[in-house]
């Protein structure tokens, strides 16, 4: 889908960059790379003096600021042997220097193995996420992440 | 908290306006005023042609576009006899024409009454919300709402 006016091309490039930043977050989580997760978020100078980054994990209260957010990912990684994200229903909208991404995280995760060297029981789960990015000199960075469990059995009945 | 440079005063005015828009949303829900709820969201012309508004109610999948969002509020209002929101931990940050509000909704809601004219049993609940607003000619309007149930017993242990 190349072509279009320079404005359209710029908008498409923005959207692609935001989607790549979103994908990078989940890849960092899959590989358990805490440093890469930290890199995905707004840096200290950009965020902490202005109220800072905000994060809600499924079922959790609001976490504010880089220190709380990083600690939460450390806790999650410590308690997760294996995690894989299949993203579906990914939509991105850019408004100036802010971008809103929503997606469904179809998660396959593994608990602790019963025997060493084995993989623990795998659990599937569905989480919907609202990820908010801000444009920085170092690319698009996460300003806010809100993930929540999908508890209903499906879409509205009248969608069927 | 008056005074400060013109820039600071403008930032404070923005923040106050955003907080008022956030409060207005919950008041509209409390009074069951569907029209006021619709007014709180980005209008059709502003939103629908660009991917549109996005809404996640606690435990629900992602809803996109004004039609789906309005229908969801209709459903919620039909099934709610009484609802009251006590907002705590409200924080707002404005970035250009986008504002991020996070808050905890301490909800008191009533089910159907067993006898006519009586109030049904009251249920308490705690929801954390990420509300995203955009500046329009008609004031700050909701672009995205994501609410999720708080399932943990409290904050991290090491906060105590």
Cβ atoms of residues B96 and A96 within 8 Å: yes
| Global pTM exceeds 0.80 | yes
The reply to whether residue B64 touches residue A155, judged by beta carbons under 8 angstroms, is no
Using CA atoms, how far apart are residues B103 and A13, in angstroms rounded to an integer?
A: 33
**Which residues on adjacent β-strands are paired with residue A98?**
A95, A134
> According to the model, what pLDDT value does residue A93 have?
95
> According to the model, what pLDDT value does residue B50 have?
46
> According to the model, what pLDDT value does residue A79 have?
86
Task: Give, in order, the Cα–Cα distances in Å from B158 to each of A9, A68, A72, B154, B155.
Answer: 48, 11, 12, 11, 8
Which of the four pLDDT bands, split at 50, 70 and 90, describes residue A80? confident
Taking CB atoms and an 8 Å cutoff, what residues of chain B touch A130?
A: 54, 56, 130, 132, 144, 146
Task: Give, in order, the Cα–Cα distances in Å from A55 to each of B46, B86, B131.
Answer: 28, 21, 13
Nearest by CB to residue B148, choosing from A58, A64, A154, is: A58
The reply to whether residue B59 touches residue A150, judged by beta carbons under 8 angstroms, is yes
pLDDT in tens, B31-70: 999 999 999 999 855 544 445 899 999 999 999 999 999 9
Count of alpha carbons within 13 angstroms of residue A130, beta-carbon side: 30
Domains of chain A: which residue ranges? 6-149
Please give the class, per CATH, of domain A6-149: alpha beta
Alpha helices in chain A (DSSP H): 6-30, 34-40, 44-47, 65-78
Which of the four pLDDT bands, split at 50, 70 and 90, describes residue A117? low
What value does the mean pLDDT of chain A take? Answer: 87
What lies within 8 Å, CB to CB, of B138 at 6+ separation is: B43
What value does the mean pLDDT of chain B take? Answer: 87
Give the closest-approach CA distance of A56 to chain B in angstroms.
Answer: 8
Nearest by CB to residue A96, choosing from B71, B97, B149, is: B97
């Amino acid at each position: 889908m190349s072509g279009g006016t320079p404005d359209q091309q710029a908008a498409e490039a923005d959207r692609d960059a935001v989607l790549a930043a979103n994908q990078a977050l989940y890849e960092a989580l899959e590989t358990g790379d805490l440093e890469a997760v930290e890199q995905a978020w707004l840096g200290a100078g950009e965020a902490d003096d202005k109220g800072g980054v905000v994060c809600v994990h499924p079922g959790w209260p609001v976490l504010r600021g880089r220190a709380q957010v990083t600690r939460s990912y450390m806790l999650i990684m410590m308690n997760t042997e294996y995690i894989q994200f299949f993203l579906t229903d990914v939509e991105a909208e850019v408004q100036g220097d802010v971008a809103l991404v929503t997606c469904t995280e179809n998660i396959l995760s593994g608990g602790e193995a019963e025997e060493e060297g084995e993989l623990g029981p795998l659990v599937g789960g569905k989480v919907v996420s609202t990820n908010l990015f801000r444009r920085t000199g170092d690319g698009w960075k996460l300003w806010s992440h809100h993930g929540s469990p999908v508890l209903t059995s499906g879409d509205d009945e009248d969608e069927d």
